[in-house]
Amino acid sequence: MKNPILVDFHCHLDLYPDFESIIEESERRGVRTLAVTTTPRAWPRNRDLTKKTKYVRSALGLHPQLVGESSNQELVLWEKYLPETRYIGEVGLDAGPRFFHTFQQQIHIFKRILQCCAATGDRILSIHSVRSVSSVLDLISENLPPDKGKVVLHWFTGSAEEADRAVKLGCYFSINTEMVQRPKGRRLIEKLPLERIITETDGPFTKLQTGITKPWDVEKVVEMIAMARGTTSDQISKAIVKNMKTLLR
């Protein structure tokens, strides 16, 4: 059998020690990789390094964990670059204890991002929703009509009810190695509609026994999803490629 097509729909390529060589390696292996960013200041370099790549694409982000005093200026910069890309991320909300003090400001920024995406249209978003799924879904349903943008919930840790609501809203879910290794994540993976599943690494923030995950390690995620759902890697792999195509259409 020929090598399956791999999809890493959320990876921080610019946070690896050698950004350029990891892009080259993803290209060489043909891994469909979405290089997310955490600040619009990182955009020009990501954009330039992926101008001619065949498989690696860059996303314009403003990470909720980085929201703070200078965020309004960052938002101005984010809006300036928005016309340059179809891919948005990492954006979203984080109501975890370390970031809760900026939650109101995060909401202000995320809402503005969604409204800008709605105004521009044809955007694909990779969204962070730690301890804030219901707020994230509320903001999406109020500010981003389904025909204006598509949503991928990255590293989803919400409840089964929240997952149901997200499915009804049309969201996709990008699944990583950490999720498949935890009981809660596995339960989610067993139940999600197959046509909404895609893979990610969230590298370099996830690890395998072999070290920090790299985009091609999504092969492991595919295997683990197959195991959790009692099917073959080949089936899952085909579904993921099909889902990616639907998402990008």
Contact footprint for Mn ion (CB under 5 A)? 90, 202
CB of 11 to Mn ion, least distance (A): 8
If the CB atoms of residues 23 and 59 are measured against Mn ion, the closer one turns out to be: 59
Cα dihedral: 22, 43, 57, 150 (round 10): 140
Q: Which residue's Cβ lies closest to Mn ion? A: 202
CB of 176 to Mn ion, least distance (A): 9
Strands 207-208 and 211-212: antiparallel
Cis peptide before 17 (omega within 30 of 0): no
CB of 175 to Mn ion, least distance (A): 13
Tokens of 102: 């900026």
Q: HSE-up of 14 (CA within 13 Å, CB side)?
A: 23
If the CB atoms of residues 65 and 235 are measured against Mn ion, the closer one turns out to be: 65
If the CB atoms of residues 162 and 202 are measured against Mn ion, the closer one turns out to be: 202
Sign of CA dihedral 101, 106, 75, 8: positive
User: Is 115 buried (19+), middle (13-18) or exposed (0-12) by CB count in 10 A?
Assistant: middle
Q: Which of 155, 167, 96 is nearest to 126 (CA)?
A: 155
CB of 119 to Mn ion, least distance (A): 25
Spatial separation of the C-alpha atoms in residues 62 and 41, rounded to whole Å: 9
If the CB atoms of residues 8 and 90 are measured against Mn ion, the closer one turns out to be: 90
If the CB atoms of residues 158 and 229 are measured against Mn ion, the closer one turns out to be: 158
CB of 113 to Mn ion, least distance (A): 16
CB of 13 to Mn ion, least distance (A): 11
If the CB atoms of residues 202 and 219 are measured against Mn ion, the closer one turns out to be: 202
